[in-house]
Structure formats: structure tokens, C-alpha cells
Structure 1
Amino acid sequence: MVAMAERVDEILRAGGAPHFHGLVVLRGGEPVLERYGSGPDHRLGEPLGHVEFGRDTLHDLRSVSKSMVALLYGIALGEGLVPEPGAGLVAQFPEYADLVADPARAHLTIEHALTMTLGLDWNEDAPYTSTANSEIAMEEAPDRYRYVLERPVAEEAGRRWLYCGGASALLGGIIARGAGRPLEEYAATALFEPLGITSWEWSKGGHGTVSAAAGLRLRPMDLAAIGQLVLDGGRDVVPASWLRAALTPRVVIDPGFEYGYQWYLNTGKRPWAAALGNGGQRLIVREEDALVMAMTAGEYDQDPGGATALTEAILDD
């Protein structure tokens, strides 16, 4: 354990992670490493100026939010509020009668959204400041759910993983409809309060709806607590059966790196599950040695080299 801390501190001293913001490592449910940095930061593109990060500082999780939405879906499913993954996707939005009636979309299921295998035309390779990026275009569209569901069909669903924030937005919408209240309100009572998480934010888009794909803000320590919940099999918060389903590899991204239900899965010699977000936001859980790592950083829209170096220093332990 000392070796891990020494490796991390050496990277920080040497300037190997200049945009590092926060790090919490748990082993066996206990904190064994906690570090914080400082620097400029943003809230979904809104400048926050220079921030001195500490234990009580909230931080953007960006696409780590997607994995939290997957946990919420499992909780809602256990409460009978949302359909099983095999249910039809477009049918959950009956107000779009033309799309529901479209035979080219009839085979789409909620599971296709959970695994990002919708087969729809979607591109998040463009900068997240441009509507050439499908997620940004979705946020600026008059109706985000219709925008996603009416994308042209590019290939058969279920065949190929394609990164898609729109899939997470649809899942968030289904949860909110089933719960009868906004996603963030359901998250507060279903996930955060049971874990004693009282300080959090969920940024909203132009429609007054939270960004299910990217808007959640938590403290690193609280993010780590959610990771511990996953490692513990969900306890009495997330159904254990759902966690097993969510962390089952379902589609290959690259050899040894797969995707479950909105969670990344390293299937190599030392398997781990991860929630990953733009800028170096990371939550990694490794059952083998009861390890949880929660990291925040400011490497937005660039290669997260610093976050990668710190992650390797921890996972090599």
C-alpha cells in the first residue's frame, strides 16, 4: 500500500498529472489514499475559475453519470417502475406515434440503449462545443428524446458498440417517467440518501431537464462510496441481480475491453469495472483485491494522460 502512495505522489511531484483534481482509493471499504490538487475547472463548459479542490468540493463526473443512470435503472426496475431490458424502446415514448409505427425501429429494445448498440446514426467525435457532435445537437434540439429516436438507422441494432449519450438520455427519461418525478429527485431518494450523500448537483440542459449523459457532480469520496456499493453487490440499495447483469460483458469495444449496461469492463488478467468520463473522471472497482478508485481531473477534451498515469500507478499495486 505504501508503494501505491509513493507512486502516486511521485507522479504528482514530477508534474506528470498537471490537471489532477482529486483522488480517493478504498481498500476493503476503508480509505487508504486521498489526494487533492488545484487548477482551473468547468461545470459542463461553464468556467469556474481557479479551484482549490478538497474533500468537500463537488466535481463534474461527465460521462461517469451514464453509469450512475444504469444503477438508477436497476433500482427502478426492482421497484417495478420501469420495463425489463428486453422491452421495446420506442414504445416507451408513445407520443411519437410515427416512430412507434416505423417498422425499421420496431426491433429496438431498452437493452440496446443500455449497451449503446442502437445502430442509429450518431457521432460524438466532433468537439463538445459544436452541434456537429450529436450529444450537443440533442441538447439543443426542441425535443431531446425525439431527436435521438428519429436518427437515421445506420445498421442493425445489437451488432456494434457506438458511444452514444443519447442512449443514456433515453434511459434517464424512462426512469423519470416511471418514477413520476425528475431523474435527479429519484436519484436523491433511491441512491444518494441511502448512502448518506447529501452534497451533489446535477446540471440541467436548456430544456430544464438534467443531462443524464454527463451532468452529475459529486465529491470524489461520495463517488468512491458508490463504487464500494457496487463492489459490495448493491447491499439493499441496488438489486444484486441487476449489478450482475450490468457488469456482464455484452459487446466488445476492443480486445479485452468490453461493455455491459453503461459500464466498461476490462476482461484481462486482473478484471475491473469502470465508469469513465471526459477529462479524466474515473470510477474503477476491482473485486480481486476489494479496490475502489475515484478520480477527478480537468483534462477535458484532450488525451487524459495524467489520469491514465495515476490510474496505472494504482492498479499496478
Structure 2
Amino acid sequence: MKFSFYIILLLCTLSISPIHLTVSDNDWTPDYWPTDGWQISTPEEQGMINNRIQDLDNYIESSDWTNNLKSLLVIRNGYIVYEKYRFEFTQTFPSNIYSCTKVITSSLMGICLEEGYINSLEDPILDYLPDLNIQNMDPMKERINFRHLLTMTSGLEWIDETDYYSMMDSGNPAEYVLSKPMDSEPGQEWNYNTGCSHVLSTIINTVFENGTANLAKNSLFDPLGIANYLWTGDRFGVPNGGTLLNLIPRDMAKIGYLYLNNGSWDGMQLISKEWVENSTRSHIELDFARNFGVGYGYKWWIYDWKDSFSARGSLNQNILVLPAENLVVVTSGAGYFPFEDLVDDYILSGTSSSLVPWIIGGSSVAIIAATAITSSILKKKNK
């Protein structure tokens, strides 16, 4: 430990600057595009520590929550470095990604904006739904715009997600949502509301002549090579904007990888870079959510971890994107498991950048002293 102390003191007193082993989005180009399937690599080949990945596997198998984890994928630099399926889940088994569906609806909104199907995110949404018979009208409701729906700040009453079932049982789901009374001025308060995502899907279905399902297929799923999916609709056939999209985990990862690459895919700009940037930055702080995030974007949850962002669904469906590490982490679940701990304690600690190399006096020195310094010192916490 005395040796460790002097190594640390030396590093602190010299003029040093970090070099990150990960590449930035400015100078990194994928080796290939996984349209026809992901390629597999070893953790070591992608700058990860194999022992940590093995520890991750052991931790999963020995935990009392293990039956709640159905699948886990870790993708670095575009290669699968860890893939686990349990019980009935397989590579080709599509399952409900629940509220991860919302980022698909958000993506389609970005496409509609880019292609001129809607004029502006500041447009009042009621202008796009003139045929609905909306109750409880007031001036606040007339001020709800697309940005409010995207950021869960519509101001509409939504007591809890049991309202979702009432919405789907109603004669007109979008009309049900927009007929709810107003709780606050649009843009002022965040309130999780799956109904607002379905209103977005309804508007997309209205402005795009071939409907939401065809826009998703032609502009997103087909270019990404996503064919094994099912997106359940409402009584009018409108895909549910907030849930009920069934995907295989490898295709969930393609969504994350698309956003990791700023909306670009194999020479095509499927979603504008501007939309990706705006979608994955915090538009409203979530103080109650400090344990897993700090803000909310356009249906993406925004984290403290290295400016990362995630799609989240019930029962622990997750698409986590960590741009600084070129990582995409995907889970499918059936209940609670400590997703954040899996990422923080095993996956992130297993990246080579957690062994931070330094420049000292102009020469690169790998931290050989890592073997002498306790793991608690070396481990880089990102929360």
C-alpha cells in the first residue's frame, strides 16, 4: 500500500492529462453495419477486461433476482462482446419492450419534422386533430404542442398508468387522453403519461398518408434490417405509441446503435443529427429520479453516467447508450434486477478506460501500477 501511495502522489504532482481509449463520434467510423446481423468479438479485442465480464456472468447466475433477467447484450465498438439468454428467450424471440416503444415513436416524430409532415414542434397539437371531439377544453389545452408531448410536460391529468387501460378500452384513445382535464400549464410540470405517446402516434398516422406502421417500416425498420417484430395497434389500427412493440434484443440494440451514430446508418441519415442531439439531452430535471437519471429528453431518460441516455420499459427492458465508451447495453426482463449496478460495477469497470492511461512529461505510460493499487482506487465510478 505504501508503494500505491507514492504512485498516486507522483501522478498528482506531475503535469498530467488523460487519454481516453475510447474514440469520439468525430473520428470513429464503424467497421461494418449490423443491418444483416451483429458480428461477435471478444471483450479483449474491444478494449474490455474479460475477467470483469466473467464476474458479471457469475454475479447474474448467483443472485436471488436471477430469474428476472431474460437477456443481456453488451455491444462495444459495434461488436457483441457479451450475450446472454435465459429460459424461453433466444436470439430470435421477440418480446414486448413496453415503454422502450416510446423512443421509436419519438424517432418517427423526428422523421416527420425533417420531411415536413409537421411544421414545428411548437405547433399546437390540436391543429393536427381537428376531427376529435375533445372535452374539458380550456386555453391551456390549446397551448399543448409537440415538444410538450415529447417531454411528458403536457399538463394533462394522468393519475397513474392505470389510465392507460382506460384509454385503450375507450371508444377513441387519442380523444380520451386529450379530454382529460388540465393539471398545469403545458411545459411546467413533468408527469409520466403513456397516453401522450399514443397521441403522437395518432398524429403521425394522420399526417403520413400511409400511416405510422408504414412510416416505421419504410423509414426505420427496413433500413436497420429489423423484420422480426410486432407492433400492436388500437381499435383503429394505429400502433400504440407508448408500448406493445415486440422486438428481439439484437434489434433493440440496433436502435441504440443508430442513436450512438447520431442517426446515421450505412451511408443513410435515417434520423437527423439535430434530432438525436435534442432527443438525448435533458429538457427537464427529474429530482425524484436521482438514483437512475437526472433528466428527460424526447422519450429518452438522461443519465449522469458519461452523458449516457436510455430507453426504459416496464419489468426492466432497457436500451442504454454510453457514447463516451462506444457502448450499447440492452436488457429484457420480467421484474426487478439492479440494472444500474450491472452497468456500473461490471460493464463500465470492465472497459479499458477504467485503467486510465496518462501522459507524463510527454511520454505515454500505461498504469502498470494498477496491479499494485487497490481495485477500489482504480474503479471509476460514474454515477
Question: Which TM-score band (shorter chain)?
Answer: 0.7 to 0.9
The structure where strand makes up a greater share of residues is 1
Alignment partner of 2:299 out of 252, 259, 262: 262
Give matches, 1:196-235, under 5 Å. 196-235=225-264
Residues 121 and 151 of structure 1 are in contact (CA less than 8 Å); yes or no, is this contact kept in structure 2? yes
Deviation (angstroms), 1:211: 1.5
Q: Which has the larger radius of gyration?
A: 2
Cα distance 1:202–1:98, how it changes in 2: closer, same or farther (>3 A)? closer
Q: 1:229-288, CA deviations, whole angstroms, 9 ceiling, x for partnerless residues?
A: 10001111111111111112101112551001111101x252211000001100000111
Give matches, 1:94-109, under 5 Å. 94-96=130-132, 102-109=138-145
Q: d(CA) in 2 for partners of 1:141 and 1:57?
A: 31
Deviation (angstroms), 1:160: 1.4
Q: Kindly report the root-mean-square deviation, in angstroms, between the aligned alpha carbons of the 2 structures.
A: 1.9
Q: d(CA) in 1 for partners of 2:104 and 2:83?
A: 22
Alignment partner of 1:183 out of 206, 209, 212: 212
Correspondence for 1:48: none
Q: d(CA) in 2 for partners of 1:100 and 1:89?
A: 16
Q: d(CA) in 1 for partners of 2:51 and 2:307?
A: 21
Q: d(CA) in 2 for partners of 1:201 and 1:98?
A: 30
Deviation (angstroms), 1:82: 2.3
Alignment partner of 1:238 out of 247, 271, 274: 271
Residues 69 and 337 of structure 2 are in contact (CA less than 8 Å); yes or no, is this contact kept in structure 1? no
Unmatched runs of 5 consecutive residues or more in structure 2? 1-47, 351-383
Correspondence for 1:271: 307
Correspondence for 1:60: 96
Matched residue SS, 1:193: helix
Alignment partner of 2:283 out of 221, 240, 250: 250
Q: Aligned letter for 1:195?
A: L
Correspondence for 1:13: 61
Residues 17 and 306 of structure 1 are in contact (CA less than 8 Å); yes or no, is this contact kept in structure 2? no
Matched residue SS, 1:248: coil
Q: 1:30-73, CA deviations, whole angstroms, 9 ceiling, x for partnerless residues?
A: 111111001xxxxxxxxxxxxx2111111110000001111111
TM-score by length of 1: 0.87
TM-score by length of 2: 0.72
Matched residue SS, 2:321: strand
Matched residue SS, 1:228: helix
Q: Aligned letter for 1:257?
A: V
Q: 1:178-197, CA deviations, whole angstroms, 9 ceiling, x for partnerless residues?
A: 21123222111110111111
1:135 aligns with 2:164: yes
Residues 90 and 99 of structure 1 are in contact (CA less than 8 Å); yes or no, is this contact kept in structure 2? no
Q: d(CA) in 2 for partners of 1:23 and 1:83?
A: 39
Matched residue SS, 1:270: helix
Deviation (angstroms), 1:311: 3.7
